[in-house]
A = this chain, B = another copy of it.
Amino acid sequence: MKINRYLAGAAMMLPTLAFGQDARKPNIIFMLIDDMGWLDSTVGYGEEDYPYNLRHNTPNMKKLAERGTIFTNAYACPLSSPTRTSLMSGMNAAHTRITNFTTAFPGIPSDGTHKPEVLKDDILVHPEWNWHGISPRDSVSHTAYMTPMAKILKDNGYYTIHIGKGHMATATTPAASSYNLGFCVAAAGQLVGKPLSYSAKDNYGNYKDRWTGYNTMNLTEYYGSDTHLTEALTIEAKKALEFPVKNNIPFYLYLAHHAVHTPIQPDPRFADRYLEQGFDQGQSAFASLVEGVDKSLGDILDYVDANGIADNTIIVFMSDNGGNSENKAKGGVPHTQNLPLREGKASCYEGGVRVPMMVYWPGKTAAGTRLNTPVIAEDLFPTIIEMAGIKDYQTVQQLDGKSLVRLITDGSQLAKKAMDEGKIKNQKEATDFVIDESVSGLPLDRELVFHFPHQWKPYPLEDIDYMTAMRKGDWKIIYRHRTGKLELYNLKDDLGEKTDLSGKNKKKLKEMASVLSNKLRGWNAVMPTFRSTGKQIPYPDEICK
Contacts and interface: CB of A to CB of B under 8 A. Distances in A.
Nearest to A235: B179
A189 interface: yes
Contacts of A220: 104, 171-172, 176-177, 191
Interface residues of A, number: 58
A213 interface: yes
B236 A179 contact: yes
Nearest to A225: B172
Nearest to A151: B242
Nearest to A179: B239
B215 A216 contact: yes
A239 B192 contact: no
Given A176-B217, A196-B214, 10 more contacts: A106-B224, A172-B223, A176-B220, A178-B217, A189-B217, A190-B214, A192-B213, A205-B212, A216-B217, A249-B249
Q: Per DSSP, are chain A's interface residues mostly helix, strand or loop, or mixed?
A: loop
Contact of A187 (B186, B208, B210): B186
Interface of A: 103-106, 154-155, 157, 159, 166, 171-180, 184-187, 189-192, 195-196, 203-206, 208, 210-225, 236, 239-240, 242-243, 246-247, 249
A206 B206 CA distance: 14
Contact of A212 (B176, B210, B218): B210
Contacts of A236: 179
B104 A213 contact: yes
Contact of A171 (B106, B159, B221): B221
Contact of A157 (B216, B240, B247): B247
15 contacts: A154-B242, A166-B217, A172-B224, A177-B219, A178-B217, A184-B240, A184-B242, A185-B185, A192-B213, A196-B214, A210-B210, A211-B212, A215-B215, A216-B217, A247-B249
Contacts of A206: 212, 214
B208 A105 contact: yes
A225 B213 CA distance: 23
B179 A187 contact: yes
Which has the most chain B C-beta neighbours within 10 Å: A174, A191, A215, A239?
A215
A203 B103 CA distance: 16
Nearest to A180: B221
Nearest to A239: B179
Contacts of A208: 105
A216 B185 CA distance: 13
Which has the most chain B C-beta neighbours within 10 Å: A157, A210, A217, A249?
A217
A221 B174 contact: yes
Nearest to A157: B247
Given A186-B218, A225-B172, A213 B180 contact: no
A155 B206 CA distance: 33
Contacts of A178: 217
A217 B190 CA distance: 6
B184 A243 contact: yes
Contacts of A192: 213-214
A239 B182 CA distance: 9
A154 B185 CA distance: 15
A210 B212 CA distance: 7
Nearest to A154: B243
Which has the most chain B C-beta neighbours within 10 Å: A172, A179, A195, A206?
A179
Contacts of A239: 179-180
Contact of A213 (B105, B211, B219): B105
B179 A218 contact: yes
